[in-house]
Amino acid sequence: MRVIRLNEVKDKIGLSRSTIYRRIANGEFPKPILLGGRASGWIEDEIDEWLMLCINESRGKK
């Protein structure tokens, strides 16, 4: 399991910081985990799964 920080998440999925946090607030994107202090990160497998769902939806697959 690997934890990735916001910049890597942005690079991986191509969305801005504000869009990512808006989707989190709407329950449309995986929530980050707290790493201590003000640091947070995302489980890379959860981001990959979300991205695959987006790909499948855009191609009419489920």
pLDDT tens digits, one per residue of 11-34:
999 999 999 999 999 999 999 999
Tally of domains within the chain = 1
Q: Is the pTM of this model over 0.85?
A: yes
Give the burial class of 3: count Cβ atoms within 10 A of its Cβ; 0-12 exposed, 13-18 middle, 19 or more buried. middle
Tell me the residue range of the domain where 25 lies.
3-58
Whole-angstrom Cα distance, residue 42 to residue 14?
15
pLDDT of residue 44: 98
